[in-house]
Amino acid sequence: MMTLFSLHRTWLFVAAGATVLLSACEPEIKPNTSGKPFSSGKTNVTRIVSVGGDYLSGMTDNEQFKSGQESSVAAIVAGQLRKVGAGVFRQPLMFDEYGLDTRVRLSRQNDCLGNEELTVIPYGIGDGRNSQNIGPNGPYNNLAVPDARVADLNTNSYGGSNPYFARFASKTTSSIMDDAQLIDPTFFMLWAGDRDVYGYAENGGNVGLNAPSITSVTNFRNNLETTIQKLVSRGAKGVIANIPSISSLPFYTTIPYDAIELTADQADQLNLIYAANPNLVFREGKNPFVINDGGVFARFARPSEYIRITINLDSVKCKGYGSFTALPDQEVLSDNEIADVNQAIERFNGIINELGVKYGVPVFDANTLFANINRVGINFDGITYNNQFVIGGFISLDGVHPTKRGNAIIANEIIKLINDRYAAKVPLCDINLYPTVEIP
Amino acid sequence: MLRFCKVLILFFAPVAALAGGFDINLQGIRQQGMGNTGTGLLQGSSSLFYNPGAVSLLKGNFHFQGGANISAFNAVYYDPVSDITARTKDRYTFPFSVYADARVSKFMSVGMAVYNPNGVDIYWDNNWKGRFLVQNTHLQTTNFQPTVSFKLSDKLGIGAGFIYSVGTAQFTRDIPVSDASGSRSFIELSGKTTGIGLNAGVFFKPDDVWRFGFSFRKGVNYKIENGDVVITVPPSVQSFFPENTKFSGAIPGPDVYNVGFSAQLSKRFLIAGDVNYQTWSSFKRQDIDFTENTAEFEDISQPVFWKNTTSLRIGAQYLRSCCLSFRAGAAFEQSPVNRVYYFPDMADGNRFTFHAGFTYDFDDHWSVDLASMLIETKQVEGNYSPSGFRGVYKTRTVVGSFGISYVF
């Protein structure tokens, strides 16, 4: 027979069981399986400086703005280095998301034919406060400045010609490298030279006011070497990145050379209009863009040539832009111009390698990373990234600069290089915490 | 400065998988107390699950057993290269089992078993690193098993049952699309599973000490037809996904071969052992077939390539007095999950399980059974190679169980 006592004891067991359950002790991963502890290895990362052009500056969606800067390659790398002893990485943050008002975004709109589609439009105009001078709040660790070319890094009073630097330069007379030396860096990231060739390419190879030519090899080498010498002069170590080929950038590769769709009637009409032009014969269906780049006759674009992503597609669809009206030279990067750009990038990257070896600075091969992502895509944490416009996830709406998540992918590759070359163990960032293109 | 105009875009194709089948191993409170041995044990009506051949050899003419469990599962993920940890949310599940059998003639018993054979309930932290592979997985199955058992002699019994299974499955993963506010985009698949199977066994008791058993369970293929698909994305990209699609898919449960024994070493002391072999390797790919596809939204076929597994179990029972018996047991269960196709909705590893339980007999008919169980998986380094998702996983399950037995 059951006694009161044993009943009591039974319930004690039940209570004990319930307690075990509710405390449901969570499992732990034993830390010793993660190997040696995190450290900066053979580097001192106490004071970090980032120097260069667009790629380290947080430029994305055609603008430098607050959240983009917070997710810049430099900031992400520095954030991870903080876990192994780096100090605070101060950035000349914009006040808001407008930057200097050239940001773009996606919007759902009707095109000229009344078809709804996703379109890139201006983000909007801020209240101007981002132009306020925040120089006195410095010094800043991120001295990567949008639009800065290699020669600009050592140009005194550079703020006079670049509003992105003017807003945070320590003095009106200072150069970017002057301000970098205020940090007395122990570790640097240098990614410069992109604007020395991209400016030319983005203007379709046109040179003029606001359309720079490609920097000469001598100029590039001298200024890059001067910059590296200054950075390493007090024993700092660092990394230097090279320049991605434009064939990896959707700014050039998105619009097909033969995007002119014609009916039989339209083809006949065009053949009539261009009857005197021996270069052009239109057919029903797909036809190449018509280009006027200084020859006696307008010509068809060739499959290897790039049409800029910024072309007005409404004009193409409804106003005969690129067919009835030939495209002006700056809309197209012709074969010759592409060859010039490729040659420049090849030479610049050669110089970057050479100087990297000479000064013992490991080179982050951004060119290969971008090319791999472009060619085969790269798989991270369940998502495949490629360089397709918008959907690829890697490059932002301007077709040139990475998305915030693209920056995180690049930052991790730089950290891997640091780990490899400096016997460090710096944790990688969680790239999925950074957004890709914002979809309306 | 650059100016931009209209560019048409396409969209990411989401890829999805359904859960892998996990054995729940909560089919008998008494067996749970003994390391889930049972193929060679006579512990009442729950033999309907463990070995239908044993049912006709049970003492008494009518048996009933009911069991209820509360099970708490936790998994932790750690990425050693990024020093990031993620955990599953606390989830409690309540598997149950109900068994009844009756002797209808000297040589024949019939019975009915209802139990939860397979299930998984993994809800990872929101925003965890692997959310584009899986956010939540839920699978719950219930088997109905009418059974007949024949006593061929006083020493030998055989039996077989037909299994009809129903259940629910649900799967959620994030879609890599976000709007300016950063709100989450995701796809949710949910549906009802159905399937059929078989459970058969032979039980042999040559003398008063030894009992031997062999049983075979034909795996249930948990099929989902006409499952619901909910896609939550920003409005401007909804047109890239089908408006009203359904899905079908299947999760193959394994065939299970069990061999077991028990030995009544003394009046008070009983030991038991089991070996189980499971053909999980039939689970090669997780296929999801959507009724409607778009260029960006295609059917899914994810490799998992599970492996066949063996489990070893031991248990003991000690009768303290007339009416109180204590049990203890332990088991080693191999994990079917392939380390290079380690999908985080199947967070699993080789398991070590520890069991304790007791029974209090109120009288010759009624008794109450209690058991508790701790399941620890070994730390596993897994890599879902098709997506490049790596990490170290470890899980722990704590189970408390309560049951009632009746014999007449």
Three-point CA angle B365, B370, B374, nearest 5°: 155
Which pLDDT belongs to residue A30?
A: 67
Residues of B in contact with A392 (CB under 8 A): none
Could you tell me which chain A residue has the CA closest to the CA of B132? A382
Cβ distance B387 to A111 less than 8 Å, yes or no, reads no
| Secondary structure in 3-state letters for B172-184 | EEECCCECCCCCC
User: Which among B6, B177, B381 has CB closest to A313?
Assistant: B6
pTM of model > 0.90: no
Residues of B in contact with A62 (CB under 8 A): 1-2, 4
Region A50-70 average pLDDT: 97
Taking the C-alpha atoms of residue B101 and residue B55, their distance in angstroms, rounded to an integer, is 8
Could you tell me which chain A residue has the CA closest to the CA of B180? A438
Cβ distance A119 to B362 less than 8 Å, yes or no, reads no
Q: The tokens of B220 are what?
A: 């249930």
At B123 the three-state DSSP class reads strand
Of A45, A71, A81, which is closest to residue A183 (Cα–Cα)?
A45
Peptide bond into A139 cis (omega under 30): yes
**How many Å lie between the alpha carbon of A73 and the closest alpha carbon of chain B?**
16
A352-373 pLDDT tens trace = 999 999 999 999 999 999 999 9
Which pLDDT belongs to residue A161?
A: 94
* pLDDT classification of A25: cutoffs 50, 70, 90: low
B372–A contact, CB cutoff 8 A? yes
Which pLDDT belongs to residue A29?
A: 76
Phi and psi at residue A23, in whole multiples of 5°?
A: -75, -15
**In contact, B45 and B99? CB cutoff 8 Å:** yes
Residues of B in contact with A13 (CB under 8 A): 358, 370
Q: Judged by CB atoms within 8 Å, which residues 73-92 of B form the interface with A?
A: 74-76, 78-85, 87, 90
**In contact, A361 and A238? CB cutoff 8 Å:** yes
In angstroms, how far is CA A372 from the centroid of its own chain? 15
Of B26, B27, B30, which is closest to residue B325 (Cα–Cα)?
B30
At A330 the three-state DSSP class reads helix
In angstroms, how far is CA A254 from the centroid of its own chain? 17
Name A156's bridge partners.
Answer: none
- Beta carbons within 10 angstroms of residue A183's beta carbon: 22
Q: The tokens of A400 are what?
A: 């040139």
**In contact, B73 and B81? CB cutoff 8 Å:** no
Mean pLDDT of chain A: 91
Q: How far does chain B reach from its first CA to its final CA, in angstroms?
A: 90
- Beta carbons within 10 angstroms of residue A185's beta carbon: 27
Residues of B in contact with A122 (CB under 8 A): 4
**In contact, A180 and A49? CB cutoff 8 Å:** yes
Region A323-336 average pLDDT: 94
The residues, any chain, with a CB within 8 Å of residue A345's CB and separated by 6 or more, are A197, A243, A244, A245, A246, A367
Cβ distance A35 to B80 less than 8 Å, yes or no, reads yes
Residues of A in contact with B235 (CB under 8 A): 108, 440
Taking the C-alpha atoms of residue A436 and residue A37, their distance in angstroms, rounded to an integer, is 32
Judged against a pLDDT cut of 80, whether residue A82 lies above it is answered with yes
**In contact, A388 and A248? CB cutoff 8 Å:** no
Residue in this structure with the two tokens 């290895």, named with its chain if needed: A41
Amino acid letter, B16: A
Residues of A in contact with B402 (CB under 8 A): 14
Amino acid letter, A438: E
**In contact, B219 and B252? CB cutoff 8 Å:** yes
Q: The tokens of A102 are what?
A: 């050239």
Radius of gyration of chain A (CA): 27
Which pLDDT belongs to residue A33?
A: 52
Low-confidence ranges of chain B (pLDDT < 50): 1-21
- Beta carbons within 10 angstroms of residue B344's beta carbon: 26
Taking the C-alpha atoms of residue B234 and residue B180, their distance in angstroms, rounded to an integer, is 10
**In contact, B228 and B184? CB cutoff 8 Å:** no
**In contact, B366 and B405? CB cutoff 8 Å:** yes
Region A127-155 average pLDDT: 95
Taking the C-alpha atoms of residue B209 and residue B42, their distance in angstroms, rounded to an integer, is 12
**In contact, B309 and B277? CB cutoff 8 Å:** yes
Cβ distance B362 to A2 less than 8 Å, yes or no, reads yes
B182–A contact, CB cutoff 8 A? yes
Which pLDDT belongs to residue B19?
A: 25
Cβ distance A33 to B75 less than 8 Å, yes or no, reads no
Of B15, B16, B5, which is closest to residue A389 (Cα–Cα)?
B5
- Beta carbons within 10 angstroms of residue B34's beta carbon: 31
Percent of chain A exceeding pLDDT 90 equals 79
- Beta carbons within 10 angstroms of residue B20's beta carbon: 24
Taking the C-alpha atoms of residue A151 and residue A131, their distance in angstroms, rounded to an integer, is 24
Taking the C-alpha atoms of residue A201 and residue A310, their distance in angstroms, rounded to an integer, is 13
CB pairs under 8 A between A and B: 179
Residue in this structure with the two tokens 């039974």, named with its chain if needed: A10
A213-270 pLDDT tens trace = 999 999 999 999 999 999 999 999 999 999 999 999 999 999 999 999 999 999 999 9
Taking the C-alpha atoms of residue A204 and residue A255, their distance in angstroms, rounded to an integer, is 14
For strands B366-377 and B351-361, give the pairing.
antiparallel
Cβ distance B370 to A312 less than 8 Å, yes or no, reads no
Of B64, B140, B77, which is closest to residue B342 (Cα–Cα)?
B77
Name A395's bridge partners.
Answer: A402
Residues of B in contact with A124 (CB under 8 A): none
Q: How far does chain A reach from its first CA to its final CA, in angstroms?
A: 73
User: Which among B3, B129, B402 has CB closest to A381?
Assistant: B129
The residues, any chain, with a CB within 8 Å of residue B319's CB and separated by 6 or more, are B267, B268, B269, B270, B325
